[in-house]
């Protein structure tokens, strides 16, 4: 089954404790991206990657890092999480200029 | 900077009605436009993808149109059903700064039985 898998789905952590949200897709898509969704602000792009070893900033990259060492994986790293990073995070993938497939989301709370 | 606006923000209709959701964007330099559905607490599901060279796409009871020159798209839902209740988002893949996807805030649709 074609899918985008995110882990963890739910996480509560404390300020400053590094965490990684993993994202994996099994569709051999070149393009992957991360979004955060906040009430009243909608979906905003954090980072995206056009292919292996190619990443670029979206609209709200501050406080986040990504890497794309393999085509299927695109982890989101929060080196020192802060409460303003409490949000619902989505990973997505697509073929180039094609239909976007989303993961189920990861709800992160930073205390 | 590309901005995407969706009107109305919320819509409540009786079952069986045909309805139109609107999406507008400020910069016509786009690769494509996509309509998504999001159920509460869930991820987004792609409904229709319209490439910049296309005028419309259809899937079942859904029809999406694109007028790139005027910066507008509409999503038409025929014979609405309670199961259509969800948030509908449109997004444009913009040529600005490479491939960047910009989302509208969404329209919350409720179809009453």
pLDDT digits (tens, 9 = 90+) for B2-55: 899 999 999 999 999 999 999 999 999 899 999 999 998 888 999 999 999 999
Nearest to A105 among B43, B91, B93 (CB): B43
Average pLDDT over residues B86-109: 86
Q: Is residue A76 classed exposed, middle or buried when 0-12, 13-18 and 19+ CB atoms within 10 A define those classes? A: buried
Whether B52 and chain A come into contact, CB under 8 Å, resolves to no
Residues 6+ apart with CB under 8 A from B45: A102, B36, B37, B38
The alpha carbon of residue A85 is apart from the nearest alpha carbon of chain B, in Å, by 18
Give me the sign of the Cα torsion angle A36, A41, A43, A46: negative
Do B44 and A90 make contact, defined as CB atoms within 8 angstroms? yes
Q: Do the beta carbons of residue B76 and residue B18 sit within 8 Å? A: yes
User: Hey, are the CB atoms on B49 and A98 less than 8 Å from each other?
Assistant: yes
Q: Mark yes or no for CB contact A103/B51 under 8 Å.
A: no
Q: Sign of the CA dihedral A10, A15, A17, A18? A: positive
What does the pLDDT look like over A94-108, one tens digit per residue?
987 788 899 999 999
Cross-chain Cβ contact A97/B43 below 8 Å: no
Average pLDDT over residues A55-59: 90
Please give the helix or strand (H or E) that residue B51 lies within, else none. Answer: strand B44-51
Cα torsion B62, B67, B72, B75 to 10°: value is 0
Phi, psi at residue A108, to the nearest 5°? -110, 130
User: Residue A100 phi/psi, 5° resolution?
Assistant: -95, 130
B10-14 and B107-112: which strand pairing? parallel
Please give the mean pLDDT across all residues of chain A: 94
Q: Are A99 and B36 in contact (CB under 8 A)?
A: no
Beta-sheet pairing, A10-13 with A106-110: parallel
The residue among B95 and B7 whose pLDDT is bigger is B7
Please tell me if residue B107 touches chain A, with a CB cutoff of 8 Å.
no
Q: What's the pLDDT at A98?
A: 81
In this structure, of A44-58, A64-78, B24-38, B98-112, the range with the lowest mean pLDDT score is B98-112
CA dihedral over A49, A55, A59, A61, signed as positive or negative: positive
- pLDDT for residue A42: 85
User: d(Cα B69, Cα B9) in Å, to the nearest integer?
Assistant: 24
CB contact under 8 A, B43 and A103: yes
Coil vs helix vs strand at B92: strand
CB A28 within 8 A of CB A17: no
Phi-psi region of A64 (alpha: psi -120 to 50; beta: other; left: phi over 0): beta
Convert the pLDDT of each residue in A11-49 to its tens digit: 999 999 999 999 999 999 999 999 999 988 889 999 999
Task: Give Cβ neighbours of residue B59 (< 8 Å, ≥ 6 apart).
Answer: B47, B48
Question: Which pLDDT belongs to residue A91?
Answer: 96
Indicate the pLDDT class of residue B97, thresholds 50, 70 and 90.
Answer: low
The stretch A78-101 carries a mean pLDDT of 93
- Angle A38-B88-B17 from CA coordinates, rounded to 5°: 145
């Amino acid at each position: 089954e074609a899918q985008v898998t995110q882990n963890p789905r739910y996480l509560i952590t404390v300020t400053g404790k590094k965490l990684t949200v993993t994202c994996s897709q099994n569709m051999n898509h070149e393009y992957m991206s991360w979004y955060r969704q906040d009430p009243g602000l909608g979906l905003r792009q954090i980072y995206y990657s056009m292919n292996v070893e190619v990443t670029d900033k979206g609209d709200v990259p501050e406080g986040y890092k990504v890497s794309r060492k393999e085509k299927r994986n695109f982890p989101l790293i929060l080196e020192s999480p802060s409460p303003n990073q409490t949000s619902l995070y989505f990973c997505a993938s697509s073929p180039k200029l094609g239909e976007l497939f989303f993961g189920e989301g990861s709800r992160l709370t930073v205390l | 900077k590309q901005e995407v606006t969706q009107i109305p923000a919320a819509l409540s209709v009786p079952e069986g009605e045909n309805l139109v959701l609107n999406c507008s964007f400020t910069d016509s330099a786009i690769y494509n436009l996509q309509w998504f559905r999001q159920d509460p607490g869930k991820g987004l599901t792609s409904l229709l993808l319209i490439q910049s060279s296309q005028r419309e796409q259809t899937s079942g009871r859904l029809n999406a149109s694109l007028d790139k020159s005027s910066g507008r798209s509409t999503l038409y839902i025929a014979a609405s059903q309670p199961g259509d209740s969800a948030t509908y988002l449109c997004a444009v893949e913009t040529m600005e700064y490479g491939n960047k996807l910009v989302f509208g805030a969404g329209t919350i649709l409720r179809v009453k039985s």
